[in-house]
Amino acid sequence: MAGATPRVLIVAGSDSGGGAGIQADIKTVTALGGYAATAVTALTAQDTLGVAGVIPTPPAFVQLQMRMILADIGADCIKTGMLHDAQVLEAVCQVLEREGQGIPAVIDPVMVAKGGAPLIDDSALERLTARLLPLSTLITPNLREAERLLSLPTESITDLSAMETAARQLLSLGCGHVLLKGGHLPGSRLYDLLMSPDHIEIFEDERLETPHTHGTGCTLASAIAVGLAAGMPTVEAVGRARRYLREAIRTAPGLGKGHGPVNHAHTVRPFEQPAPHREPERERDRERERG
């Protein structure tokens, strides 16, 4: 597949509002030059104000979607998002262990929607940490998700030093890399920490003050996944993904009454308007008249 389009299999829930979930993932992978295939784990009815309802996909059907894609189109990276219960988590783990062996896996441990609605059962948390995280190339928790994964008190990760400690604890669960996102820390500076067993990279930026941040976690994880699918080193894939997301936030279209979506399409050039058509004979006549 050298030189081919990077293929990303996305295993996540659908967001009817289009700002997060499968919809954000597809837009992101496409905007960054990849090919997105999907296994839908749940349907959600939601908008920028919150989640009104969730219909889960049967675990066997989630597996069927994944296996058909892997057997035919294939994947250069697998990215997971909303995995709402222990049965779906186990189903996904089985495919990763068998058909997905050797394919990089980016795990976004989605637990709570931007508006606060829970997106994973409490019973699934143990399965997530014990089964899924050890299969990951990279996990992308925010601070609240990291606290739940580590059974820490809420809001106990309060600074960069605590982030480093938490990232090391997450690595001990078997992850290949941890990208711990520091957006919940106070202050005008934003810190994300990328850690592997032998390397730490700290990304620092000025915080963008905006309510239009719906789907930022899904978008970042998918942007990293398409970079890994293209063969980029992890640090470079994360760096490019962060730059893509920051510009998507900065140029957000301002839709909705709550947490609005970002601008996933900012990398895509607008269609150029074709030059007006002129018949050759008439054009020559005009040239003679001007002469």
Q: Can you tell me the distance from the alpha carbon of 19 to that of 97, in angstroms, rounded to the nearest whole number?
A: 30
pTM listed for this prediction:
0.90
Q: Which of 55-69, 105-119, 131-145 has the lowest mean pLDDT?
A: 105-119
pLDDT value of residue 274? 46
Token look-up 């597949």 returns: 1
Structure tokens at 262: 């970002």
Residue ranges per structural domain of the chain: 7-147+208-268
pLDDT value of residue 110? 87
Q: What mean pLDDT is reported for the chain?
A: 91
Query: What are the pLDDT digits (tens) for 35-47?
Result: 999 999 999 999 9
pLDDT value of residue 263? 97
Give residue 85's identity as a one-letter amino acid code.
D
| Dihedral over alpha carbons 170, 103, 20, 27 (to 10 degrees) | 140
Higher pLDDT, 283 or 91: 91
Structure tokens at 89: 């988590």
Question: For 4, left (φ over 0), alpha (ψ -120 to 50), or beta?
Answer: beta
Query: What are the pLDDT digits (tens) for 21-35?
Result: 999 999 999 999 999
Q: Residue 242, exposed/middle/buried by CB under 10 A (0-12, 13-18, 19+)?
A: buried
Alpha-carbon distances of 91 from 15, 108, 221, rounded to whole Å: 21, 17, 21
Q: What are the catalytic residues?
A: 181, 213, 215-218
Which residues, 6 or more positions from 64, have their beta carbon under 8 angstroms from its beta carbon?
A: none
Give residue 72's identity as a one-letter amino acid code.
D
| Mean per-residue pLDDT, 78-102 | 96
| Dihedral over alpha carbons 24, 30, 35, 38 (to 10 degrees) | 10
CB atoms within 10 A of CB 168: 14
Beta strands 177-181 and 189-196: pairing type? Answer: antiparallel
Q: Can you tell me the distance from the alpha carbon of 184 to that of 227, in angstroms, rounded to the nearest whole number?
A: 25
CB atoms within 10 A of CB 199: 10
Query: What are the pLDDT digits (tens) for 208-238?
Result: 999 999 999 999 999 999 999 999 999 999 9
pLDDT value of residue 272? 47
CA 144-15-47 angle, 5° bins:
85
Give domain 7-147+208-268's CATH number out of 3.30.70.1520, 3.40.1190.20, 3.40.50.300, 3.40.50.2300. Answer: 3.40.1190.20
Beta strands 50-56 and 35-47: pairing type? Answer: antiparallel
Query: What are the pLDDT digits (tens) for 128-166?
Result: 999 999 999 999 999 999 999 999 999 999 999 999 999
